[in-house]
Amino acid sequence: MPESTFVWHKRQGLFLFVLISALLLSLPPVFSQDEIRVLSPGVTVEGALSSDAPASSYVFDATAGTTATITIISSDAQSLAVLLSDPSGNIVSQSLDTGGIGAVQVENVLLAENGRYFVAVFYAPGTEVGAAGAYNITLAVNEIAVPVEATPVPTEEAVTTDTTAEVVQPTVESVSTEPIPEQILLGGGIEVTLNWTGNADMNLQVRDPSGETLFWDSRATTNGGSFGFDANGLCEIISDGPVETATWQPGFLPTGSYEILVFYREACEATVGSVPFTVSVTVDGVSAGSVDGVLLPPLQGQNSVYLSRFEIDGEGAASIDVGGVYPDASLNLLPTAFDIATDNPTAIQRDAPIISEITNANIFETYSFTGTAGDIISVDMQAQGENLDTLVQVVDATGALIGVNDDSNQTTNSFIPNLRLLNDGIYTIVATRYGKEIGGTEGQYQLTLTGASSDVAPELSEFQLPQGDIEVTLLWETSADLQLLVRDPVGEAVFDDVPFINSGGILQENGNVSCIPAETIQPVSYVYWPSGRIRPGTYEVEVWYQNGCIDLPPPVEFTLVIEVAGQTISVQRQIPLVNQRYITNFTIDPSGAATAGEGGFLGGSETLNYQPEVPSALPLVSAQPVTGVLTPTNTFDVYTFDGVAGESVTVTMSASSQTLDAKLFLISPSGIEIAENDDADPVLLGQTGRTTDSILSQIILPENGPYTIIATRFGTVFGGTIGGYTLTMRKN
């Protein structure tokens, strides 16, 4: 990680903690009386620092309404710092030698009280303790101080052999009395606390403005940050009141934006569902507020994360932002409406980098370029500061997201390599950050648009696919075996085992099948229907991550593009796990107009919002069949029956028309999914049974109460099969 602006050394940390505590609590005896020296206006006093005495203290008496200026010039160009405290122990001014010029000054400070003021001189954070530290300190009272000007140090050519030549001391070029914008002295430090209710492994993560992070696997930062106990970590030791804390010890700490992330890693008991939590922030001993939220258990291969932030200004004041849930799918959402993003973008030329900035007040910038179908482009977004976590998106003229990247090569920079443009037109690049409007990272970035990256295969730029009325293209960049399957409106599917079907579907390309590398090096799978073979109805598309093909497969990010009658109707980018299936669908009406359906990874009953339908669900009677119809707009039906603990039930769902690939779920009175089935065992249904029918056979009920049956289809809301069915519940 990048180093912070001021490095916090442990040796200095102990001293500064004592010093700050003394100043804030009005305890000047932290230094002995012999060490505290009296300053008189206009009198220069010599002082020195060392490893044995890393700080010096001074006092002077003043009356309310006067002004004071303190100037310190190092004899050997060491970086020093100075604090001025009033008689009540409050720090009224501070300054650091940030330029390393060997001088520091607090200028024209208005003194509000009568009494004795305290001055502390010490090494600036980042300076080696024990280095030669001789200096001169001068107090001026009721004078308008003129900042001393830096005098150039003689070059080697200017040095004379005259031993009487005057030694030139470095002086202050320009020192402001305003607080240092990057750092501020916080005598109470910073504390961020996560509390939650429930037996779940939750994780707190905080990213500071200098780019360093605190969480369970990064327990310390160079600026005094530390992470506490990993509560409920891996569900090994369960706490009744789990708490995780990230703290920064008192000292000079970064101002700016701190990003807070709360992760729901896993439930530690099967009955644990959503988890409520509270994040509280304290800065310099003062509450900056708290945020209450709720996270659902994560889906397989996805994060369940809540984002927030707090900001510390140049005066040390802090405030927390409410934030919100940020699912992985949010990466595919634009930070604003498409018409706003494309309203007034900046033109970008190839190979001409642009530098701009992302802040909490300006969370995205947009850029436009003209593209031609078949072009290969690459987009690189590199953070120029220490904190920004970049995110870059590419959108075509219709508003379809055709490229997105958050983290590239295990960094927080973003890179989209070798993106193939599908149509002529104006394309928009959106430069933003992880979390977008609820994120907390800021900083400059460099954005570069280029052609194909240097490692692109020559075959890719020359790659030509036959055109048709329906075109489904799957692209990825690793050696993994991903299977593309497209099912037509009559239920026939074209894929690697069935490359041709009666409706005209053809599997033209099949990248990395059986882990044999694609001839084009970059794998592509392509299914199409030639011109004149378009058929109205609903089509189902499935991408199945079958095999990583090497011992340690890298993450796979695929792009799925669906085109009908020359128009792109869907571009979807996903990162699957091995053996995951991504399902989506599209429908063509009799006029030839096409619409894309929802897409998502194959899951269980959690993909269905069935709960609102339970109160009005049809109650079932044992052995009495019921019928229903699933359509593109009615993707599941809900039924109920009363059960007794220990009873055995069997539920069958048989398709009666069209293409329906049936699926069943059984939900207990406690809301737990206790059984599911997609393709029934043909032996149980008889030799003539349909393997795409479903059966829940002899399920033992675990409790008394009302049970819920969900009758749906393969892929649930994401699937594409439709048709009538017969459902029967039988108590054995």
Three-state DSSP class for 561? strand
Per-residue confidence (pLDDT) for residue 464, from 0 to 100: 64
Can you tell me the distance from the alpha carbon of 651 to that of 346, in angstroms, rounded to the nearest whole number?
A: 60
Which position has the higher pLDDT, 227 or 523? 227
Query: Cβ(441)–Cβ(388) under 8 Å?
Result: yes
User: 617 and 713: one domain?
Assistant: yes
Sequence-distant (≥ 6) Cβ neighbours of residue 34 within 8 angstroms: none
Last residue of some domain: 96, 125, 158? 158
User: 15 and 136: one domain?
Assistant: yes
Q: What is the DSSP letter of 502?
A: T
- Across 483-511, average pLDDT: 90
pLDDT digit string (tens) for 387-442? 899 999 999 888 877 788 888 877 899 998 777 787 789 999 999 999 999 999 99
* Burial class, 164, CB count within 10 angstroms (exposed 0-12 / middle 13-18 / buried 19+): exposed
Please give the tally of structural domains in the chain: 5
pLDDT digit string (tens) for 452-477? 765 544 434 445 677 788 999 998 88
pLDDT digit string (tens) for 87-100? 877 778 888 887 77
pLDDT-derived band of residue 521, with 50, 70 and 90 as boundaries?
low
Last residue of some domain: 581, 598, 624? 581
User: 442 and 506: one domain?
Assistant: no
Q: How far is CA 455 from CA 290, 378, 516, 557, in A?
A: 48, 11, 20, 17
Q: What is the chain's mean pLDDT, rounded?
A: 82
Domain span at residue 212 reads 183-326
Angle at 324 between CA 319 and CA 328, to 5 degrees: 135
Whether residue 20 lies inside any domain: the answer is yes
Whether residue 135 lies inside any domain: the answer is yes
Can you tell me the distance from the alpha carbon of 569 to that of 702, in angstroms, rounded to the nearest whole number?
A: 46
Torsion of CA 718, 721, 725, 728, to 10 degrees: -40
Beta bridge partners of 470: 529, 564
Q: What is the DSSP letter of 220?
A: B
Can you tell me the distance from the alpha carbon of 96 to that of 6, in angstroms, rounded to the nearest whole number?
A: 10
User: 566 and 673: one domain?
Assistant: no
User: 671 and 691: one domain?
Assistant: yes
User: 643 and 700: one domain?
Assistant: yes
pLDDT digit string (tens) for 21-73? 433 333 333 333 345 788 988 899 998 888 777 778 888 888 888 889 999 99
User: 563 and 479: one domain?
Assistant: yes
Per-residue confidence (pLDDT) for residue 260, from 0 to 100: 97
For the chain, the farthest-separated pair of C-alpha atoms sits apart, in whole angstroms, at: 114
Whether residue 618 lies inside any domain: the answer is yes
User: 320 and 375: one domain?
Assistant: no
Per-residue confidence (pLDDT) for residue 402, from 0 to 100: 78
Whether residue 423 lies inside any domain: the answer is yes
User: 320 and 351: one domain?
Assistant: no
Whether residue 373 lies inside any domain: the answer is yes
The CATH number given to whatever domain includes residue 339 is 2.60.120.380
Length of the chain: 732
Per-residue confidence (pLDDT) for residue 255, from 0 to 100: 92
User: 622 and 679: one domain?
Assistant: yes
Place of tokens 């194909």: 452
Whether residue 695 lies inside any domain: the answer is yes
Per-residue confidence (pLDDT) for residue 121, from 0 to 100: 85
User: 117 and 53: one domain?
Assistant: yes
- Across 278-297, average pLDDT: 94
Predicted confidence (pLDDT) at residue 648 exceeds the cutoff of 50:
yes
Query: Cβ(223)–Cβ(160) under 8 Å?
Result: no
Three-state DSSP class for 482? strand
Last residue of some domain: 267, 295, 326? 326
Per-residue confidence (pLDDT) for residue 615, from 0 to 100: 94
Whether residue 459 lies inside any domain: the answer is no
| Rounded (to 5) percent helix, strand, coil in the chain | 10, 45, 45
Per-residue confidence (pLDDT) for residue 202, from 0 to 100: 96
Predicted confidence (pLDDT) at residue 731 exceeds the cutoff of 50:
yes
User: 572 and 650: one domain?
Assistant: no
Whether residue 571 lies inside any domain: the answer is yes
